Structure 1
């Protein structure tokens, strides 16, 4: 199957995608290796890094959505059934929602603990809930639950990309890979 270069995502969209994926991988590694958070836990070390990466993810996703609002995604393969198109769209928007909501829940929980949240360990961020807020504390529990939901959704996303590549063979995965634009341009 020959793909035209217009069917590939542009360079900024691909960068946003892969940087988000990398930050999310780092975030889960931090979450699984950092100490458990208890009443007397201090936001230092891996916990401070986890908070900072969460802020970076939120900001990156907002920039990504702003970019997406000004630059449409390339068209999907014409052979893709309508149900799969709809499922893909809903899954992507749910990913965006969770990529914003999960870190914001963690940030609100950190704020309720009176923890400073910084971006790149130097730029202070405003608190999202008052110190001692029961809602902020509860959001910490929801943060954990929805982090697992997000991980499952990422697994579905990866599985769908592999399904497109190896079962449907429609080059959907290739549209997000860095080498695709060069390959598509040379085939013309």
Structure 2
């Protein structure tokens, strides 16, 4: 049975919801770019979709860094009391794994770009330093791991979204509604 508005736990703040949904939109765009851009080989230049992939990756890194600081300074609303402890623990682990990958993947891509001698920018204006020297085998290997962990991220995003839908349609609790834009603000 659905909880009414008097017993619905606090929603996430408007800013927390913005960070969440902005991350979702950027990730959707990033995966679309990654799946349609040409393969990266020796001599590939960072133009077209590859340049877009680099730029969106840096934007994701910036957004998630700010979001992480926000999360540490503004704790999430309390968990729903109806969620069993093991399930709550899996949810927390999944959330932190998502944060970790959302930071690690752009850093791996940046290091790989650096090893290829590609410049990195935040937006189109702010040049960023190289994370690895040009020709770095470590930077090149991070590019391979970047692709592997992108699939892990996609699987975790699918798990996260499936869990939200399970809560909404099967358990019929307020878990999903707490993150929807129409939810009321929490303090």
TM-score using structure 2 length: 0.94
Which has more helix, going by share of residues?
A: 1
CA–CA distance in 1 between the matches of 2:28 and 2:111?
Answer: 22
Shift of 1:42: 0.2
Q: How many residues align?
A: 183
- Name 1:30's counterpart in structure 2: 33
CA–CA distance in 1 between the matches of 2:9 and 2:95?
20
Give the corresponding residue for 1:101. 104
Identify the residue that residue 120 of structure 2 maps to in structure 1: 117
Alpha-carbon distance in 1 for matches of 2:33, 2:44: 16
Q: CA shift at 1:117, angstroms?
A: 1.1
Per-residue CA deviation, residues 7-47 of structure 1 (Å, 9 max, x unaligned), is: 10000000000000101011000101111101010001110
- 3-state DSSP class of the match of 2:117? coil
Give CA-to-partner distance per residue, 1:64-107, whole Å, 9 cap, x none. 01111111101111011001110000000000000011111111
Could you tell me whether the CA contact under 8 Å between 2:9 and 2:80 is conserved in 1? no
Specify the alignment match of 2:134 in structure 1. Answer: 131
Q: Is the contact between residue 48 and residue 117 of structure 1 (CA under 8 Å) also seen in structure 2?
A: no
| Residue in 2 that maps onto 1:153 | 156
Aligned-pair distance for 1:125?
A: 1.3
After superposition, give the CA deviation of every residue in 1:133-187 in whole Å (9 maximum; x if it has no partner): 00000000000000000000000000000011011111100000111118x9xxx
Q: Which blocks of at least 5 consecutive residues in structure 1 are unaligned?
A: none
The verdict on how the C-alpha distance between 1:14 and 1:159 changes in structure 2, with shifts beyond 3 A counting, is same
Q: What is aligned with 2:80?
A: 77
User: Do the aligned residues in 1 keep the contact of 2:58 with 2:106 (CA within 8 Å)?
Assistant: yes
